[in-house]
Structure 1
Amino acid sequence: MTVVSDLEQDWHTWHAARERDLDTDYGWLSIVAFDWLPDTPKAIEGLAGRWWADDQAHVTASGELTLAGEPVHGTVSASVPEAGSLSWLLYGDRLAELVLRGGRYAIRQRDPRAAARQNFEGVPAYPIDDAWTVTGYFSPYSRTQRVEVSTARDDLRQHITTVGTVHVALGGTAYELVATAAADGRLNVAFHDKTNGEETAPWRTVTTGPVREDGSVVIDFNRTVNLPFAFTAYGTCPAPVPTNRLSLPVTAGEKKVR
């Protein structure tokens, strides 16, 4: 009889939910194209209409596209905040998602029949090891800081809003990792480590537990995940700040998707 610990059971439940979320009709596995919008009307391969952008995004169509279930005849426009997105228009069941990245509008296409989704067999991960559940201490900044970082695209740099640093010891070395805010009082920590490129994606991220009153915070590296760019060539994911580089292999969490 195999005995499964609470840690393992909780992880398997969490990981199954994550894989289901990836494999939805318009999840990260469905992305098939990314196009910056030009400043004059032009066609986009894979979609109908003529598209362009200034301080908003625009498209002119003759009924081939639908907006909220109604055919588009003429020109419609939309905008989103920086780093935001809008599930804007449909071309059949292909979604034209509007995004704003680095001050530039782009259309990201999502297709429920994408090859990445059809071929999806789950996300490989390291064996669960409770030694990778550690406690750190959060030092908030007096005010948030905007930091420019590279991204998964060579033609894009973005700003992230950092909220403080997490002090944590790993492998006998003390680290001070820059964090961004997550929901419910938690923190996101994106990082590089020695597994990157071979066993894992070029970088990964982990969401901590809630910050406690004494500033302590639990980091379960078993729940380290790949960002969307690990699943699609069309991701725009911000890279970690340069200082978030661990000098040891983090053999926990999700591995590279083959």
Structure 2
Amino acid sequence: MTLTEPTTPVVDRPEFEAAWYAWRAQNEERRRDAYGFLSYAAVYKLGETAQRFAEVPGAWSVSDEGVVVELSDEERLTVDEDPVHGRFVFAPVAEREFRRDARFDEVVVELSKRGGITLLRPIDPAHGLRESYVETPAFAPDPRWIVRGEYVPFEAPRDTAIDAAIDGITHQHDALGEVVFDLDGTTNRLLFLAGGAAGGGAFAVFTDGTSGVSTYRASRRIAAELPAEGGPIELDFNRTGNLQCAYTNYSPCPLAPAQNRLVVAIEAGEKTPVFAD
């Protein structure tokens, strides 16, 4: 499919910029949250054999019952505001679920599941990564990066394996179809996946000519509301955002599949995060 080179959409510039700056501020506020992903202090894969970890009390494992923690006489956790000791069983964790119902002191213990693997992550507001975070710079908003394309849905969603930023984890996503668009003389096809951690809509993870130069090398994310029957669509690359793995080694975020590794440089959206030395 070859599309006509799109023209820059006509927008109300003050309204467009105000909305973009509000989006940026919301992203920064979320990142700076005391219990946001910058406070992940570690990540551990749980298995059938009980394991102890330096950052959390107890020995942790996964059984048919769910996630099991066994606490010594000196160890305590609070679950749903109630103190627990000895052996405690959490209900099984669903794929892409985030469960934060356990804590000790100021640290929250998060259970999640990615690619069929149950993960444990302590969330510590005093973690050094959060303390050293400075900002996420971004390209200036420009209507040029609102790109017109064509959404071509698949006849049925395709179960698609997507590599994760943490070795040994593979995401399974429903691929819904492709958005085809021309940009700077190149025809590009982005594979879009259903939902995401935030739910709703669709998203694509991709790299482009800026990756590893001014933007995070492994992947960035763009969301879209896809027309159910296919047809014309606009992608606002000004709203291209970083995934958690651009900030922390403790997030198994999806990486760009081969099809979504674009050659064209998309100089829009968020750049590589900045941390203090």
Which residue of structure 2 aligns with residue 199 of structure 1? 214
Which residue of structure 1 aligns with residue 201 of structure 2? 186
Which residue of structure 2 aligns with residue 60 of structure 1? 70
Calculate the aligned-residue CA RMSD, in Å: 2.1
Q: Is the 8 A contact 2:245 2:251 kept in 1?
A: yes
What do residues 143-177 of structure 1 show as CA deviations (whole Å, max 9, x unaligned)? Answer: 11111121101222221221111111111211221
Which residue of structure 2 aligns with residue 208 of structure 1? 224
The amino acid of 1:80's aligned partner reads V
CA drift at 1:84: 2.1
- Give the distance between the partners of 1:156 and 1:214, measured in 2 at CA: 32
CA drift at 1:85: 2.1
Which residue of structure 2 aligns with residue 223 of structure 1? 239
Q: Is the 8 A contact 1:210 1:218 kept in 2?
A: no
CA drift at 1:38: 3.4
Identify the range of structure 1 (74-83 vs 236-245) with the bigger mean alpha-carbon deviation. Answer: 74-83
- Equivalent residues in 2 for 1:81-160, closer than 5 Å: 81-160=94-173
The amino acid of 2:255's aligned partner reads A
Which of 166, 185, 193 is the equivalent residue of 1:172? 185
CA drift at 1:195: 1.2
CA drift at 1:14: 1.0
CA 1:41–1:209: 2 relative to 1, 3 Å: closer
CA 1:67–1:98: 2 relative to 1, 3 Å: same
Which residue of structure 2 aligns with residue 242 of structure 1? 258
| Normalised TM-score (structure 2) | 0.86
What are the ranges of 5 or more consecutive residues in structure 2 without an aligned counterpart?
1-12
Which residue of structure 1 aligns with residue 87 of structure 2? 75
Q: Is the 8 A contact 1:58 1:77 kept in 2?
A: yes
CA drift at 1:235: 0.9
CA drift at 1:23: 1.4
What are the ranges of 5 or more consecutive residues in structure 1 without an aligned counterpart?
none
What do residues 14-44 of structure 1 show as CA deviations (whole Å, max 9, x unaligned)? Answer: 1101111111121121111001113222211
Number of matched pairs: 256
Identify the range of structure 1 (182-191 vs 229-238) with the bigger mean alpha-carbon deviation. Answer: 182-191
